[in-house]
Amino acid sequence: MNELIRYINEPKMKARTYFLFFMMMVSTGCVETIVMDPDEENLPVVVSCILEQGQSKLTLNLQYVKGKSMDEYIPVEDAKVYIKELKGFERTVDFKHSEGSVWVTRPDPFFSILPQMSYALYIEIPGREMIMAETTVPSNRVIPEVVKKWSD
């Protein structure tokens, strides 16, 4: 046993041991397979929705990412999409599919995007995990000194 320890502690053997250990780590390391052309059931989803203060009619784009062999993006047409206030009255407003990848809400006199209010967007596509995003709208305060410096 002592001879083995002495043999491993030799400079050449240390280098070989480290090299073998490194190669073993590289060959069994974290590897993520990237599929360039997934089938239609596994296409990733892209959501785009911009909230602006005072807005009562919201627009959202919802589509699948196109695969390598596809010419166009595929719009998501079968889903349940809604936005919910997270503070205050906790109102929920549903999106309806309009055309292509566009989803819209009807104007609601009791719902508008307010500063310093938090909102959550929920998207439920059959056969997939729910997609959820949360944001807080910043306040509309403007610092006069900064605006003045920019205008000079």
pLDDT digits (tens, 9 = 90+) for 74-117: 899 999 999 999 987 788 999 999 999 999 998 788 888 888 89
Q: CA 10 → CA 1, 5, 24, distances in Å?
A: 15, 9, 21
Average pLDDT value for residue range 106-132:
90
Q: Report CA dihedral (65, 42, 134, 126) to the nearest 10 degrees.
A: 120
pLDDT at 100 (0 to 100): 92
pLDDT for 59 beyond 70: yes
Give the pLDDT of residue 126. Answer: 93
Q: How many CB atoms lie within 10 A of CB 53?
A: 14
Classify 83 as helix, strand or coil.
strand
- Tens digits of residue pLDDT in 34-47: 666 666 667 888 99
- Reported pTM: 0.66
Q: What percent of the chain has pLDDT over 90?
A: 33
Selection from 16, 109, 98 nearest residue 62 by Cα: 98
CA distance 149 to 145: 6
- Given a cut of 60, whether residue 149 has pLDDT beyond it is no
Greatest mean pLDDT among 26-30, 49-53, 75-79 lies in 75-79
